[in-house]
Amino acid sequence: MASVTVYSVGNLPTWAVVRLAVTLLLTVAMVLLVACGESSSPADQPVTPAAETGQDAQTPAAVTTTEAPRQPEATAAVEATPTAAPATAAVATPAPEAEPKPSRAELTRRCSNGIAVPDPQENLGLVHDCAVLLSVRDELAGSVPLNWSHERAVLLWWGINLGGVESQRVVGLNLGQAQLSGVVPPGLGELVALESLSLIDNKLTGEIPPELGNLSRLGLLQLWGNQLTGSIPPELGKLTSLRSLSLDWNQLSGVIPHELGSLRQLEEFSLSDNQLTGPIPPEIGSLTELRSLYLNDNQLSGTIPSELGALVHLEVLDLSNNNLTGDIPDEFRNLDNLRELSLGGNRLTR
């Protein structure tokens, strides 16, 4: 404790009393400051940098720390592991159900709306053709949409040609190189006024439907450049108005039907680049209007029928790249109009 001097102020002058009072106050203040400094916490003291205290910068000053309470290990492990979200089973979204195909009666009603067919009561035949085409549209087109709709005039439909004097009918269906990827629909056989059917150079698959034999007015049938399989329907022999038949560049197999010998109006006949087998039917010699006959690049066998010598209008005959044997018929001397004859790639003796 600091000593305190007691003064007697009775006989002191005024200035001395004042000086004594100031001295006492300063002494009391110093005592209080010392007392506060001793009771203050080390944490409240300012930190002196090592450079100012003269300590080595690499030697840390002793620091007193208070360690936090240690948590139980099991609890810490639980807290360190993130909680996985509850697994949710994947629920497959059901595909939307395809709309049911409209009935023929419904399609006929739609085609009678006055838009697809003007004056439907005066053009019942065209209403029928409209309904037929709508019924086969998706089957023919595959993944390629066609603009055929009952909300658009049939006259504006892609590939459709109309004809007729008193009443209009669909007389032409020509969709060559249209990227069609469907099939040749059997329903096309209901277009009884059809005169021209050309679906060349597409991606059509499947077989040639025998129903095409019902198109008695058909003058042109061209299906070349597709991926058609199966055999040639004998029913095509009923197309007695046919002038051009082109089924080449497909994957057709089987034999050439002898019924095709009934196509007496035929001028162009091409079955090349398929997988046809068997002999060349002698009935082809009855097609006296033929100008060109292409049967090349198949697997035809047997001999060349002498009946082909009767094709006096023939200008081009290509039988190359088959398995034909035997002699070249002497009757070929009668082919006065022949400009091109190809017989290579066979096993002919002369």
Lowest mean pLDDT, pick from 82-96, 110-124, 201-215, 281-295: 82-96
We report the CATH number of the domain holding residue 214 as 3.80.10.10
Q: Number of structural domains, the chain?
A: 1
What is the tens place of the pLDDT at every residue in 305-319?
A: 999 999 999 999 999
Instruction: Specify whether the CB–CB gap between 251 and 227 falls below 8 A.
Output: yes
Residue 60 covered by a domain: no
Residue 94 confidence class, pLDDT cut points 50, 70, 90: low
Residue 240 covered by a domain: yes
**Paired tokens of 172:** 């032409």
Structural domain that includes position 228: 205-348
pTM greater than 0.75: no
Residue 291 covered by a domain: yes
Residue 340 covered by a domain: yes
Task: Indicate whether 327 pLDDT > 90.
Answer: yes
**Paired tokens of 102:** 């409209």
Residue 99 covered by a domain: no
Name which of 309, 300, 260, 254 is nearest 280 in CA terms.
300
What is the tens place of the pLDDT at every residue in 194-239?
A: 999 999 999 999 999 999 999 999 999 999 999 999 999 999 999 9
Residue 190 confidence class, pLDDT cut points 50, 70, 90: very high
Residue 95 covered by a domain: no
Task: Indicate whether 74 pLDDT > 70.
Answer: no
Residue 10 covered by a domain: no
Q: What gap in Å lies between CA 342 and CA 337, rounded to an integer?
A: 15
Residue 150 covered by a domain: no
What is the 3-class SS of the chain, one letter each residue? CCCCCCCCCCCCCHHHHHHHHHHHHHHHHHHHHHHHHHHCCHHHCCCCCHHHHCCCCCCCCCCCCCCCCCCCHHHHHHHHCCCCCCCCCCCCCCCCCCCCCCCHHHHHHHHCCCCCCCCHHHCHHHHHHHHHHHHHHHHHHCCCCCCCCCCCCHHHCCCEEEECCCCCEEEEEECCCCCCCCECCHHHHHCCCCCEEECCCCCCECECCHHHHHCCCCCEEECCCCCCECCCCHHHHHCCCCCEEECCCCCCEECCCHHHHHCCCCCEEECCCCEEEECCCHHHHHCCCCCEEECCCCEEEEECCHHHHHCCCCCEEECCCCEEEECCCHHHHHCCCCCEEECCCCEECC
